[in-house]
Amino acid sequence: MTTYIAPVRDMQFVIREMADLERIAKLPGYEEATPELADAVLEAAAKLASEVLAPLNKIGDEQGATLTPDGVVAAKGFGAAYRQFVDNGWNGLSGDPAYGGQGLPGLICAATVEMWNSANMAFALCPLLTAGATEALKQHGSPELRARYLPKLVSGEWTGTMNLTEPQAGSDLSAVRTKAVPEADHYRIYGQKIFITWGDHDMGENVLHLVLARTPNAPEGVRGISLFLVPKFLVHANGNLAERNDLRCVSIEHKLGIHASPTCVMSFGDNQGAIGYLVGGENKGLSHMFTMMNEARQKVGLQGLGIAERAYQAARDYAKERVQGRPVGNKSGERVTIIHHPDVRRMLLTMKSQIEAMRAFGYVLAGDLDFAQKHPDGAARERFQARADLLIPVLKGWCTELAVEIASIGVQVHGGMGFIEETGACQYLRDARIAPIYEGTTGIQASDLVGRKLSADNGRAMAALVGEMRTLEVHLGDTEGAGFALIRIALRDGILALEQATQWMLQTIGQDPNAALAGSVSYLMLVGYVCGGWQMARAAIASRTALRSGESDEFYRTKIATAVFYAEQVMPKATALLSVVRSGASTARSLGDECF
């Protein structure tokens, strides 16, 4: 099995030349984020990822977490690695300095999130959920809750969870039944939650659960859900830990992948009731939880990128070692490594080009979120936020669906050995498979995109995006040789498909919502492929500029060739998806349930 080496060169390129770190470093509060600092962060993160986290990936897969009478015990080595992660300040990298964070832009943090997930996806889930809990508490918690809990969450000494799911309430959270009964300055929580990631463990001192529950007489459905902070250990006013709260992990799931990440069934209030504190307003829980979910959805999108990169590295390294067959057209020649076979090269470039598109898309979106938070001009902040709101479901859905495809191609490159656990290729595919399911399935992301994000402003944010793509298309030029002409044609066709599919969606969602929703996943994927193509075109232009200015780095020539491959072999999917979107749902709906 090969190790993981972070693709720092490409990360630097995207951060500097595509997501415009220089402009981000001019925003108030981000002045320290110089390119040199970003490089130093990437280098140190890459070291931790490859030397500490990656070697634990297989151990975690084989051993998993264990439920003991004292609670969940993480796989061997995970506790020490987590302490190192916290002690070196990684958890608070982009955390609010008011609570002890380092306040670096989310853009730089995006690269570290990718690295943690490439190195060890099961491990990376723990800080991923802590980040979501931190954001929800920061935005909606009372000053007292923020002061008491945020510093330890930001440092990572305490970890956070997201407690939404119940057996009858998965995608449909209106069915949540967990109860919250008011008592003095707090509530007593009673109920069971399932599938809670890192719901219990021994890596940190405390686990803070953010729990959706209903107060007595709350309205039915999502309007009656409130959000509560329910700590594993209660906390004194001075910040010291007090007695254990009435909650426990009753079992952990046996599952396809991410074995080292305990997926817990959590029981709240078996005895006197678990003490919980209301976060934000009563009955406003779902909208508050959306803060957490948006943060988590963005990071799960980056997780898709991370696991895809890991699968690619393993496939690439194997293809350079495995000897099989002879060169095409020279059957008597020396036997060659499989990377010499055209179909293996196709598979590797299919992986590489889409991963680079995902990286550029994900990091640029992280940069948009930085502008949305810190831009001095209110109208600009709104514009960036609208862009991010529109594209977060696409990042989550598209990158995680591609992650599964890419990890599957990774198995294929290995041939039979891909199906054998020893190479690690299986684990990447097994681990990747959850990403399009949790934090809202791809179907839920697609209905969010079409039913809420696109409709909310009648397509305005999408029209602005398309406008920007058109401006770029002109800059590609026709006279730069076949490569750039190909990129330009592919981008033009992709933009047209995106425009037409969007028009169809906006017309159809009001008249025939079932037809629109039936095409929504295809629409989401179409948006993803075109956004990826747009970013690859930008990457090609930036590389051309670098080469023209005298740079001789092979990286730029490879980037242009990779962008051409994406234009030729990936972008056409957008046009194909346009007809799928438009075909609507009539055929699927014409069949009765008994026909399935």
Ligand X SMILES: Cc1cc2nc3c(=O)[nH]c(=O)nc-3n(C[C@H](O)[C@H](O)[C@H](O)COP(=O)(O)OP(=O)(O)OC[C@H]3O[C@@H](n4cnc5c(N)ncnc54)[C@H](O)[C@@H]3O)c2cc1C
Residue from 94, 102, 165, 522 touching ligand X (CB under 6 A): that is: 165
Residue from 57, 91, 118, 197 touching ligand X (CB under 6 A): that is: 197
Return the residues of window 326-385 that contact ligand X according to CB under 6 A. none
d(C-alpha 561, C-alpha 366), whole Å: 26
State the nearest-atom distance from the C-beta of 233 to ligand X, in Å: 20
Residue from 162, 344, 355, 366 touching ligand X (CB under 6 A): that is: 162
Whether 533 contacts 455, CB under 8 Å: no
Among 181, 228, 34, 11, CA closest to 110: 11
CA 240, 241, 246: angle at the middle one, nearest 5? 150
First to last CA, the chain: 42
Mask for 8-47, x = binds ligand X (CB under 6 A): ----------------------------------------
Piece in contact with ligand X (CB under 6 A), picked from 13-21, 138-146, 331-339, 430-438 = 430-438
What single letter denotes the amino acid at residue 171?
S
What single letter denotes the amino acid at residue 308?
A
Piece in contact with ligand X (CB under 6 A), picked from 6-14, 416-424, 432-440, 570-578 = 432-440
DSSP letter at 320 equals: H
Give the CA-trace dihedral at 566, 572, 576, 578, to 10 degrees: 90
Beta strands in 51-156 (DSSP E): 66-68, 71-73
Q: Would you name the residues annotated as active-site residues?
A: 439
Q: What is the largest CA-CA distance in the chain?
A: 85
269 touches ligand X by CB under 6 A: no
d(C-alpha 148, C-alpha 384), whole Å: 32
Piece in contact with ligand X (CB under 6 A), picked from 8-16, 31-39, 78-86, 163-171 = 163-171
Question: Helix 520-548 and helix 482-511: axis angle, to 10°?
Answer: 150
Residue from 440, 494, 528, 584 touching ligand X (CB under 6 A): that is: 440
Alpha helices in 341-377 (DSSP H): 342-374
DSSP SS3 for 64: coil
State the nearest-atom distance from the C-beta of 293 to ligand X, in Å: 9
Whether 392 contacts 368, CB under 8 Å: no
Piece in contact with ligand X (CB under 6 A), picked from 40-48, 165-173, 394-402, 546-554 = 165-173
Piece in contact with ligand X (CB under 6 A), picked from 325-333, 398-406, 435-443, 551-559 = 435-443
State the nearest-atom distance from the C-beta of 163 to ligand X, in Å: 6
State the nearest-atom distance from the C-beta of 411 to ligand X, in Å: 21
State the nearest-atom distance from the C-beta of 268 to ligand X, in Å: 13
Residue from 111, 121, 164, 286 touching ligand X (CB under 6 A): that is: 164
Tokens of 411: 């198995």
Give the residue nearest to ligand X (CB).
Answer: 170
DSSP SS3 for 592: coil
DSSP SS3 for 247: strand
Return the residues of window 209-228 that contact ligand X according to CB under 6 A. none
Given the DSSP bridges, would you call strands 274-279 and 186-197 parallel, antiparallel or unpaired? Answer: antiparallel
d(C-alpha 371, C-alpha 382), whole Å: 9
Residue from 170, 415, 477, 513 touching ligand X (CB under 6 A): that is: 170
Return the residues of window 239-258 that contact ligand X according to CB under 6 A. 255
The count of residues interacting with ligand X (CB under 6 A) is 19
Residue 138 or residue 259: which is nearer to ligand X going by CB? 259
Sequence-ordered list of residues with C-beta below 8 angstroms from that of 433, at least 6 positions apart, any chain: 256, 257, 404
Piece in contact with ligand X (CB under 6 A), picked from 18-26, 38-46, 192-200, 311-319 = 192-200
State the nearest-atom distance from the C-beta of 195 to ligand X, in Å: 3
Residue 79 or residue 170: which is nearer to ligand X going by CB? 170
438 touches ligand X by CB under 6 A: yes
Evaluate the CA torsion angle 357, 361, 366, 367 in order and state its sign: positive
Residue from 149, 190, 195, 504 touching ligand X (CB under 6 A): that is: 195
Nearest-Å Rg of the Cα atoms of the chain is 24
Residue 249, burial from CB neighbour count under 10 angstroms (0-12, 13-18, 19+): buried
Mask for 120-159, x = binds ligand X (CB under 6 A): ----------------------------------------
Piece in contact with ligand X (CB under 6 A), picked from 241-249, 342-350, 388-396, 442-450 = 442-450
State the nearest-atom distance from the C-beta of 178 to ligand X, in Å: 11
DSSP SS3 for 3: coil
Residue from 196, 351, 501, 571 touching ligand X (CB under 6 A): that is: 196
Residue from 29, 55, 77, 443 touching ligand X (CB under 6 A): that is: 443
Residue from 337, 441, 455, 583 touching ligand X (CB under 6 A): that is: 441
Residues paired with residue 227 on neighbouring β-strands, in sequence order: 212, 279
Residue 25 or residue 162: which is nearer to ligand X going by CB? 162
d(C-alpha 139, C-alpha 160), whole Å: 15
Whether 82 contacts 127, CB under 8 Å: no
Beta strands in 232-365 (DSSP E): 233-235, 241-244, 247-252, 263-268, 274-279
Residue 416 or residue 510: which is nearer to ligand X going by CB? 510
State the nearest-atom distance from the C-beta of 161 to ligand X, in Å: 6
Residue corresponding to tokens 């999917």:
573
267 touches ligand X by CB under 6 A: no
Residue from 88, 171, 272, 458 touching ligand X (CB under 6 A): that is: 171
Q: Which residues bind ligand X (CB under 6 A)?
A: 162-165, 170-171, 195-197, 255, 263, 434, 437-438, 440-441, 443-444, 447
